[in-house]
Amino acid sequence: MKITLTVNGRAYPLDVEPRRILADVLREDCRLTGTHLGCEHGVCGACTVLVDGEAVRSCLMLAVQCDGSSVRTVEGLAGPDGEPHPLQRAFSAEHALQCGFCTPGFLMVAAGALEADPTIGDDPERVHGLVESNICRCTGYEPIRRAIMRAAR
């Protein structure tokens, strides 16, 4: 099936099988491998990307559902001049990653929420709620929470 995905502002005309999940198409057809698959059943959130600004598990969405949509992945977080996103800097500053496998998912969950509401840092409970949505096995989450709070300041 012929579709066009707009990923990080670039159009990708693709011919994909309808059964292919968005994560696989991003990783293999678009060669954007920053989106990781940690469970392939929507629990861990490592594969989270933004589709039209909304955080979605890209393992639970078919690529064909995103025809014509705008997709944003971790590769598109930095500014056009290559300047890192405040979340990327904050994650590093707070030791919010170790192995880095779950990290893109946390970044995109937080980026989507921050862009929808830049005041989210005023409500620590909402930030905590974001961190609760994904799984990390290395850090114990607290550094991730601190990083999002730091970026939201």
Partner 1 sequence: MGRWTRREDERLLTGRGRYVADMAVPGCLDAVFVRSDVAHGVLRTVDCSAARRVAGVAEVWSATDLSELPACRQAAADLQDLPPVPHTLLARLSTEEAVVGREWPVLVKDRVRYPGEAVAVVVGEDRYRAEDGAAEVTFEIEALPAVVKPAAAAEDSVRLFEGLSNVAFQGVAGEPMEESVWQGAAAVVEARYRQQLLMPTPMECRTILAVPEGDRLTVWCGHQMPHRLRRELATLLGWSLDRIRVVVPDTGGAFGSKSAAFPEFVAVVFLALTLRRPVRWIEDRLESMLTATRGRGQDQRVRLAADADGHLLAYELTIDADVGAYPHLGVGLPMQTAWMAPGPYRTPRVHATVRSVLTNTMVTYPYRGAGRPEATIALERSMDALARRLRIDPVELRRRNFIPPESFPYRTPTGREYDSGDYAAALDLALETLGYADWRAEQARRRGDSGALPLGIGLSCYVERSGGEPGGLHEFAAVEAHEDGTVIARCGAAPSGQGHETTFPALVAKTLGVDEARVRLVEGDTDELPEGLGSFASRSAQVAGAALQHACGLLIDEARGCAARLWGVPVAEVAWSDGAVSPASGGSAMGLAELVKVTGPLRVDDRFESGMGFPFGAHAAVVEVDPELGTVQVLRVVAVDDCGVVLNPGVVAGQAFGSAVQGIGQALYEGVPFDENGVPQLANGLLDYLVPTATEIPPITVKDTCTPSPSTPLGAKGAGESGCIGTPAAIVNAVADALQLADADLLQMPLTPDVVWRAARAPKLRESA
* CA 121/CA 114 separation, integer angstroms: 8
What tokens does 4 get?
A: 């066009």
Q: How far apart are CA 21 and CA 61, in angstroms?
A: 6
At closest approach, how far in Å is the CB of 77 from partner 1? 7
- The interface with partner 1 within residues 16-35 (CB under 8 A) comprises 17, 19-20, 24, 27-28, 31-35
**Burial class for 17, CB neighbours closer than 10 Å (0-12, 13-18, 19+):** exposed
Least gap, CB of 102 to partner 1 (angstroms): 5
Q: Does 69 bind partner 1 (CB under 8 A)?
A: no
Contact call for residues 82 and 16 (beta carbons, < 8 A): no
Give the one residue of 104, 113, 114, 146 binding partner 1; rule: CB under 8 A.
104
Residues 107-136 that bind partner 1 (CB under 8 A): 107, 128, 131-132, 134-136
Q: Which residue carries 């066009």 as its tokens?
A: 4
Q: How far is the CB of 19 from partner 1 (least distance, A)?
A: 7
Residue 104 to residue 48: CA distance in whole angstroms:
7
Q: How many residues bind partner 1 (CB under 8 A)?
A: 56
Q: Which of residues 68 and 88 has its CB atom nearest to partner 1 in the complex? A: 88
- Yes or no: say if 101 and 37 are a contact pair by the CB < 8 Å rule: no
Place of tokens 């979605």: 56
Q: Given the rule CB under 8 A, which residues bind partner 1? A: 17, 19-20, 24, 27-28, 31-41, 43-44, 46, 73-75, 77-78, 84, 88-89, 91-93, 95, 97-104, 107, 128, 131-132, 134-145
